[in-house]
Structure 1
Amino acid sequence: MIEQQIIFPHDQPAYWIVFQRDQVVVLNQQTQVNVSTRRELLLDDAHFSDVLKVAEVDNLPCLVVDLGHESLPSEQHQTVSLRSVMMNSDARLFEALARAWQATLFLRTHRFCGQCGSRMQRIDWELATQCSRCSHRCYPRISPCVIVAIRKDKQILLAQGTRHTNGMYSTLAGFVESGETLEQAVHREVFEEVGIRVTNLRYFSSQPWPFPHSLMVGFLADYAGGEITPEPKEIADAKWFDADKLPLIPPTFSIAGHLIQHTLALINEQ
């Protein structure tokens, strides 16, 4: 549960997650969130007036400070991308960072009521905002997204998105549409993106993905028919790969990486 407006002693250690714009603020030479104290962060006291607690790791709280669009507090600070910080974090800090960014983004983007335009007020017993004029209440947005690893005999289907400029191939994924089940979304996305049919669909696992507020729901599936026909606006290339001839694939910290590794293990068991 996320706690708001935490008052925290100057010299008590914690995992401090500090955001500026869409990046993470760290002390120079650092590339990850480390244990530190309020004093060691070198931030003004005013920055600690609205602290969120999003998790606990190793019995230490994970606390969030949002600088918004303010300039960096000192030359001893630098910013690094959220993605790179997450890649340097273990699973527990990964989850804390994902939650921290989604909570921060929610509070930034819900300062005014979407129904009447009045200023929103924070609810102090849960992460929500409410309009004092029309009582419209908002909670953090979560966008479900399906992601699926597809197997055909001893091969796995991998695709390169049109935005993957680094040449990476991954599993297929797409957002769930209104009125659609997760399973329907998988079948639709696969057919729309590469023109094939799948069968034996089964749930694998899920992962919060803060780019910006997705919940990735992972599935495994088997090929059922059709010829690969990439949708040109979404897919630059897609093909079946042998387990020992894989292209550049996502790291294992991501659910895509987990899906690929699990599918390869199934192939090796055949």
Structure 2
Amino acid sequence: MISHSLPLQADTQGYWLIVNQQRLYWPEAQHGLHFSRMAELVPLFGEPEQSGALGEFEGKPVYYWVVNDQRDDEENWQNPRQLLRYGDAVFELAARAVQVALFMQTHRFCGQCGSAMHLVSWELAALCHRCGHRCYPRIAPCVLVAVVKGEQLLLARSSRHKAGFFSILAGFVESAETLEQAAIREVKEEVGIDIDQLEYVGSQPWPFPHSLMTGFIARYVGGDIRCQPNEIEEAHWFEPDALPEVPPVQTLSGQMIEQVKQQIAGNKKAT
């Protein structure tokens, strides 16, 4: 549980994640979480607009520190995805810091009556003392689907990606929809094919700005590839040993692609 009521003093010591406009202070010379006393940060960043306890790392406390002013040292600020190279534990703390900062920034006033919101001390929530409206951080579930046909994997290039870069299919879950229903619908909408035998793989927080990625491997049932206009530029079936540029294995999509490659290789050996 994240506590926002913990009083932070000048001598409060621990790891610090400095957040500014959905980015984290992480200069090239910094090869891990920054450990210091709170007093050492004030000359560098000024007084925080928000700060609090975030969790623990290697048995020591981790705190977040939010500043929203314009910064001159743009090269020292990274988005959380760039911190994947430091491992899951660091990335998850970075993702949490960015998402907590966004939650506090977007819930200063009650969406029901317009009064000021106040942070709840015992859970991550904002409460309106006037009308009782309580808000929690928004989490947008998203499905990732690796579609397999025989010994081939379906990969697509989004209109947002550079030429030559492909990944598995993805889409947001809609209201009153299960994860499996969303996966089937998104694949049908984006490339026009039908799938079944969905196998859950895992999940990964994705702070852009507040998504939770959930992964499935599915079997191709039928249909021809028809790319959704303005969404999918191209989609093809690929052999595991002839893949284009794909996401790194630090991402859930990259891990799923690697898992499919290993499954297909295992099936070949078995036959």
Fold-level match, TM-score > 0.5?
yes
Does 1:182 find its partner at 2:179? yes
Aligned to 2:62: 62
Query: Percent identity between the aligned chains?
Result: 42
Aligned to 1:36: 35
Find the residue that maps to 2:143 and give its secondary structure.
Answer: strand
Aligned to 1:6: 6
Aligned to 1:123: 120
State how far apart, in whole Å, the 2-side matches of 1:17 and 1:111 are. 21
- State whether residues 3 and 52 of structure 1, in contact with CA within 8 Å, keep that contact through their aligned partners in structure 2: yes
Aligned to 1:132: 129
Look up the equivalent residue of 1:63 and give its one-letter code.
Answer: Y
Aligned to 2:225: 228
Aligned-pair distance for 1:242?
0.8
Find the residue that maps to 1:108 and give its secondary structure.
Answer: helix
What is the correspondence of 1:5-154 to structure 2 with a 5 Å cutoff? 5-8=5-8, 14-26=14-26, 28-30=27-29, 33-38=32-37, 39-41=39-41, 43=43, 47=47, 50-68=50-68, 70-72=69-71, 79-154=76-151
Aligned to 2:188: 191
Aligned to 1:212: 209
Aligned-pair distance for 1:79?
3.4
Normalization by structure 1: what TM-score? 0.90
State how far apart, in whole Å, the 2-side matches of 1:50 and 1:104 are. 8
Which of 140, 153, 158 is residue 156 of structure 1 equivalent to? Answer: 153
Please list the CA deviations of residues 206-227 of structure 1 after superposition, one character each: whole Å capped at 9, or x if unmatched.
1111111111111111111111
Please list the CA deviations of residues 89-114 of structure 1 after superposition, one character each: whole Å capped at 9, or x if unmatched.
21111111111111111011000111
Please list the CA deviations of residues 5-25 of structure 1 after superposition, one character each: whole Å capped at 9, or x if unmatched.
434565665321101112212
State how far apart, in whole Å, the 2-side matches of 1:5 and 1:248 are. 46
Runs (5+) with no aligned partner, structure 2: none
Find the residue that maps to 2:263 and give its secondary structure.
Answer: helix
Normalization by structure 2: what TM-score? 0.90
State how far apart, in whole Å, the 2-side matches of 1:212 and 1:165 are. 21
Aligned-pair distance for 1:248?
0.8
Please list the CA deviations of residues 126-154 of structure 1 after superposition, one character each: whole Å capped at 9, or x if unmatched.
11111122111100011111111111111
Please list the CA deviations of residues 41-85 of structure 1 after superposition, one character each: whole Å capped at 9, or x if unmatched.
4546962574222221211222100002x144x86x853221454
Aligned to 1:172: 169
State how far apart, in whole Å, the 2-side matches of 1:125 and 1:16 are. 21
Which has the higher mean CA deviation after the structures are superposed, 3-12 or 192-201?
A: 3-12
Which has the higher mean CA deviation after the structures are superposed, 116-125 or 31-40?
A: 31-40
Question: Structure 2 vs 1, CA of residues 88 and 15 (structure 1 numbering), >3 Å: closer, same or farther?
Answer: farther
- State whether residues 24 and 94 of structure 2, in contact with CA within 8 Å, keep that contact through their aligned partners in structure 1: no
Please list the CA deviations of residues 226-252 of structure 1 after superposition, one character each: whole Å capped at 9, or x if unmatched.
111110211011101111111111111
State how far apart, in whole Å, the 1-side matches of 2:191 and 2:258 are. 21
- Higher share in helix: 2
Look up the equivalent residue of 1:110 and give its one-letter code.
Answer: H
- State whether residues 51 and 63 of structure 1, in contact with CA within 8 Å, keep that contact through their aligned partners in structure 2: yes
Question: Structure 2 vs 1, CA of residues 43 and 2 (structure 1 numbering), >3 Å: closer, same or farther?
Answer: farther
State how far apart, in whole Å, the 2-side matches of 1:42 and 1:114 are. 33
The total of aligned residue pairs comes to 266
State how far apart, in whole Å, the 1-side matches of 2:58 and 2:12 are. 14
- State whether residues 115 and 136 of structure 1, in contact with CA within 8 Å, keep that contact through their aligned partners in structure 2: yes
Find the residue that maps to 1:148 and give its secondary structure.
Answer: strand
State how far apart, in whole Å, the 2-side matches of 1:83 and 1:140 are. 18
State how far apart, in whole Å, the 1-side matches of 2:190 and 2:122 are. 43
- State whether residues 16 and 63 of structure 1, in contact with CA within 8 Å, keep that contact through their aligned partners in structure 2: yes
Look up the equivalent residue of 2:141 and give its one-letter code.
Answer: P
Question: Structure 2 vs 1, CA of residues 31 and 188 (structure 1 numbering), >3 Å: closer, same or farther?
Answer: farther
